[in-house]
Amino acid sequence: MTKPPLLPGESRPEETFLAAASHEIRTPLNGILGTVSLLLETELEPSQREYAETIRQSGSRLLDLLNNVLDYARLDAAAIELETEAFCPVRLGREVVELLSPRAHAAGLDIAARASDLPMPSYSGDAGRIRQILFNLVGNALKFTEQGAVLLDICAHADGLEYRIIDTGPGIAPEDRERLFEAFRQNSRQDAYKDGGVGLGLAIVKRLTDLLGGQIEVSGEPGLGTCFSVRLPLAKAELPPTHDLPVLDAVVGLAGLPPATCLSATSALVDAVAQPVCIDISSGHVPPEVDVLLLGAEQPEETIRTLARKAPSLIVLRPEDRGAIARFKAMGCVGWLVRPLRASSLVERVFVVKAGGMPVEEPEKLTGAGRVLIADDNPVNAMIARRALESAGFTVTVASTGVEALEAAKSMNPDLVLMDLRMPEMDGFEAMRRLRADGSAVPLIAVSAEVNSDIERQARLAGANEVVAKPIEPQALRALAIRWTGAADKAGAA
């Protein structure tokens, strides 16, 4: 039987059900993951920490599975409409890598993005669908890579754009590649046991790629890793190219950097007309023409001290290692960079150090001092966010409805608002629209248990500055709040 046409603004019953089910299932799961993340920040005995880590890992797997099942069902239930907007392919790829970097670092993996040529043109297309493709592919690569790295390559072509996701995982045999994109199929029985999923992530990627008129290919061999290549036919947009790097004219030594980070840094330096040089850390020899050294933070302390004495050095570390900045300075490092690296921040820091200046003084720990309004009708989620932000020095007020959020915003004049999108009486979309209509310029962060390209687009039209998905790790939430309230040195955090 043919389904009757929908009226303007009307949703099909199956779409309404999926939206409601998505929210109601994800919300308690987010509470579990958020609470255990706070628990892991407390003093625990080794056995207690092991139990808590197991809860977090199992909950994260369940959330990934749930996201894939609901996304796949939504593709079947809804008539997918593509949206066209101008976007920067480098920024889009970098956002995906930065959001997935905590997962990579927790697994001991390196992750980075590399642009083929900077400055890169902007393109017109459905950025939300492309972001969803990249999240699935990069997340899949992290899932099956036990050691090494995952690299996101961004390549501009005359007829479109290409993203390549390269990993150092187990690889895929040629005879298994044809079945990769079938729903409910794992590459092997061992993969099914390891993953705990049902093989939907790559099926979703294939359907979205076809929807965008693109192609996806797989290469690599068993034992040598895998490369997924997504080629999309996109027209170039009229926005000016981004990431136009200055000319460095410098020799930069790379010592002990993780593999993907090393490739990313090398590409950025070449685009800035610099000469990257690989330093043999076993010999400790640094050529006299080296102007600046980039040192991996994972090296032995004595190695860092020795190299830092031979040339001005920038230590490259993970976001969670910021607390050790003072120790690295005591070893002789003049500044720091956080991976995954941003090309603009890397080149800017090298330029300053080469010129004989000192990088802007970085904060040695993440602290905040602003007023944050949290609008969330779920008391568990509100408690998790409040505890995470108060521990960083923020003053926090909680509202449970959109109406309460509007009243609180008028009385407290917040520096930042975290707005849940599904609340009683007045939802987050309407609350944000009214705040903007009243002339408020406060940064609005839309928070939702379900984030897809349609929700993100609606939230930004309502006035959101950024859209984030629950659960938000406490550390990531604190960093987000500090970035939007201006409490951190943006150069150092890049």
Of residues 240 and 468, more confidently modeled: 468
Q: How does pLDDT run across 356-367, given as a tens digit for each residue?
A: 766 554 444 445
User: Is it the case that residue 350 has pLDDT exceeding 90?
Assistant: yes
Q: Is the pLDDT of residue 295 over 90?
A: yes
pLDDT for 95-134, tens place per residue? 899 888 888 988 899 999 999 888 888 999 998 889 989 9
Given a cut of 60, whether residue 11 has pLDDT beyond it is: no
Q: In the prediction, which pLDDT does 21 show? A: 67
Question: Pick the residue with more confidence: 152 or 355?
Answer: 152
Distances (CA, A) of 140 to 190, 201, 367: 15, 7, 33
Give mean pLDDT, residues 411-417.
93
pLDDT tens digit string along 279-294? 999 888 999 999 999 9
Q: Helix crossing, 474-485 with 379-390: angle to 10°? A: 60
pLDDT score for 8: 43
What digits encode the pLDDT tens for the residues 376-401? 998 888 998 899 899 888 999 999 99
Residue range 255-269: average pLDDT?
Answer: 95
pLDDT digits (tens, 9 = 90+) for 19-52: 666 667 777 888 888 888 888 888 888 888 888 8
Q: Sign (positive/negative) of CA torsion 338, 339, 340, 343?
A: positive
**Residue 277's pLDDT band (cuts 50, 70, 90):** very high
pLDDT tens-digit map of 227-261: 999 999 999 988 776 666 778 889 999 999 999 99
User: How high does pLDDT run on average in the chain?
Assistant: 84
**d(Cα 280, Cα 303) in Å, to the nearest integer?**
11
Choose between 53 and 181: higher pLDDT.
53
Residue 165 has pLDDT above 90, yes or no: yes
Q: Can you list the domains of the chain with their CATH numbers?
A: 13-77 (1.10.287.130), 85-236 (3.30.565.10), 251-354 (3.40.50.2300), 371-488 (3.40.50.2300)
SS (H, E, C) the chain: CCCCCCCCCCCCHHHHHHHHHHHHHHHHHHHHHHHHHHHHCCCCCHHHHHHHHHHHHHHHHHHHHHHHHHHHHHHHHCCCCCCCEEECHHHHHHHHHHHHHHHHHHCCCEEEEEECCCCECCEEECHHHHHHHHHHHHHHHHHHCCCCEEEEEEEEECCEEEEEEEECCCCCCHHHHCCCCCCCCCCCHHHHHHHCCCCCHHHHHHHHHHHCCCEEEEEECCCCCEEEEEEECCEECCCCCECCCCCCCCEEEEECCCHHHHHHHHHHHHHCCCEEEECCCCCCCCCCCCCEEEEECCCCHHHHHHHHCCCCEEEEECHHHHHHHHHHHHCCCCEEEECCCCHHHHHHHHHHHHCCCCCCCCCCCCCCCCEEEEECCCHHHHHHHHHHHHCCCCEEEEECCHHHHHHHHHHHCCCEEEEECCCCCCCHHHHHHHHHHCCCCCCEEEEECCCCHHHHHHHHHHCCCEEEECCCCHHHHHHHHHHHHCCCCHHHHC
Q: List, for residues 174-217, the tens digit of each pLDDT value.
A: 878 777 877 555 555 445 434 444 567 788 889 899 999 999 99
pLDDT tops 70 at residue 14: no
- Indicate the pLDDT class of residue 492, thresholds 50, 70 and 90: very low
| Pairwise pLDDT comparison (172 vs 256), residue with the higher score | 256
pLDDT at residue 157 is higher than 60: yes
Residue 449 has what pLDDT?
77
Q: Is 457 exposed, middle or buried (0-12, 13-18, 19+ CB in 10 A)?
A: middle
Say which residues have a Cβ less than 8 Å from residue 282's Cβ, sequence separation at least 6: none
What local confidence, expressed as pLDDT, does residue 244 receive? Answer: 65
User: Are 473 and 102 within 8 A, CB to CB?
Assistant: yes
In tens, the pLDDT along 69-78 reads 777 776 665 5
pLDDT of residue 111: 96
